[in-house]
Amino acid sequence: MSSKLALLGGKPVVTGPVTESWPQFDQDEATAVMEVLESGNWNHGPKCQEFEEEFARLQNAKYGLLCTCGTAALEVICRGAKIGVGDEVITSPYTFHGTCMGIMMAGGTVTFADIDPDTNNIDPDAIEVAITPRTRAIMVVHFGGLACDMNRILDIAAKHDLLVLEDAAHGWGAQYAGRGLGSWGLASGFSFQQSKNMTSGEGGIALTSDEEMADIIGCVINSGRSIYERAPEELRWGGNHRITDFLAAILLCQLERVEAQNDIREQNAAMLTRALSQLEGIDPIRRVPEATRVSWHVYGARFNKEAFEGVSRSVFMRALRAEGVPVGSGYSEPVYKNPVFQHDWQGGAYKPLAWTTTPDAPDYRDLQLPNVEQYCRERISISQTVMLTSENRMGEVVNAFEKVCGQAKELIGLENKEVS
Ligand SMILES: *Cc1c(COP(=O)(O)O)cnc(C)c1O
């Protein structure tokens, strides 16, 4: 058990590959794609409609509207909610920048509220502080498929008359209080991009239970025309964000697997959380009690270097990787540190609509949100494909964490050598 660290020449704890290959498919996908080929319905057709209904049912929403990607789904729900120039949307700074792109491309302005580092999600107290007279909506991000504190967020929204929209890009099959993510706000967006737990390579879906929203979103996706004759036959403004039945056919097969795969991820997450909680200096992510089902697109933990006599996160992760555990560090910076919010601000070749027409566009260059900035320095991430590994293998992952934590002082001398 207390053999030498693999980084220092010892034997790795993990005895085989941990990461499951991705994307996963079998003969079902091949048959389904062939069926579409032969059907002659190569466009947005019956498979799309079937998937929209099934996926909406899984998440407990009424209407599903497929579109090209998660970013487009977020843009079309913002358009459906009539978010436009001058409207501020509060969101999390610990997210993929697509969250912000969706808001900005619809014409809205992004306001960041700090996160709760225990849960990696937006902090309801920080939302309240960020509200201004221009705030129209809160775009929550259920990061990793771990639900935000929706009871508090819905209360805040009701008190200030704000809309709630959900970036549920990671929320396939995940629940809050037993009800699907993406069914809590006015509308939500999911992603089926290749790295995601359910995928058609590219793809996304907007969900809502509001009929008027569904009509408008459908028009925004379908060149301004109503999808499935849901809305009156009058043209509205809309681009074309439709996907084809080929992708919907693949998604219908992926949908058959997602629940069983999420079960495996939940079991592995439970094992990890139990074990990592015992380790000094490692804080596994916490779920709000109402997060009854998590899809674990990524699992997170915080690394506290004070507990390791100053050993850095990067050296610690290098030691874990040497033991055979593929760990990552998550986002290196909050999304507002991205160049489009920094030096390109107001000066880039292409400016979002909101910034060309609003005289007092926000200046993100001075923005500092301490929790998320510290979180980016401390996070250790484990991807969904690792979370799909066998129980035995996850046991080895746990052993590797225990071994590296137990011998962390051996890493002190390695601090100055730059690490990959
Ligand atoms: C992947 C992702 C998106 C965007 O999805 P695409 O399909 O890549 O456009 C949005 N938000 C989050 C949190 C994501 O991880």
What would the pLDDT profile of 357-376 be if each residue is shown by its tens digit?
665 677 888 999 999 999 99
Grouping H, G, I as helix, E, B as strand and the rest as coil, residue 171 is coil
Ligand 1 centre to CA of 144 (Å) is 11
Choice from 67, 91, 99 to test ligand 1 binding pocket (greatest atom count within 8 A of CB): 99
Band (pLDDT 50/70/90 cuts) for residue 419 is: very low
DSSP 8-class letter at 146: P
- pLDDT score recorded for residue 211: 94
- In angstroms, the CA 333 to CA 281 distance is 22
Would you say residue 420 has pLDDT above 50?
A: no
- Which residues carry out catalysis? 196
Ligand 1 centre to CA of 204 (Å) is 9
The whole model's pTM is what?
0.96
Pocket of ligand 1 (CB under 6 A): 69-71, 95-96, 98-99, 141, 167, 169-170, 191, 193, 204
Mean pLDDT over 308-324 rounds to 95
pLDDT digits 0-9 by tens, 55-88? 999 999 999 999 999 999 999 999 999 999 889 9
Cβ neighbours of residue 75 closer than 8 Å, sequence gap 6 or more: 101, 102, 103, 105, 106
Band (pLDDT 50/70/90 cuts) for residue 413 is: confident
Ligand 1 centre to CA of 19 (Å) is 21
- pLDDT score recorded for residue 346: 59
Ligand 1 centre to CA of 145 (Å) is 12
pLDDT digits 0-9 by tens, 291-301? 999 999 999 99
Cβ neighbours of residue 213 closer than 8 Å, sequence gap 6 or more: 63, 77, 80, 81, 186, 187
What is the number of the ligand 1 atom nearest to the C-alpha of 196? Answer: 1
Crossing angle for the helix pair 70-80 and 211-221, to the nearest 10 degrees: 130
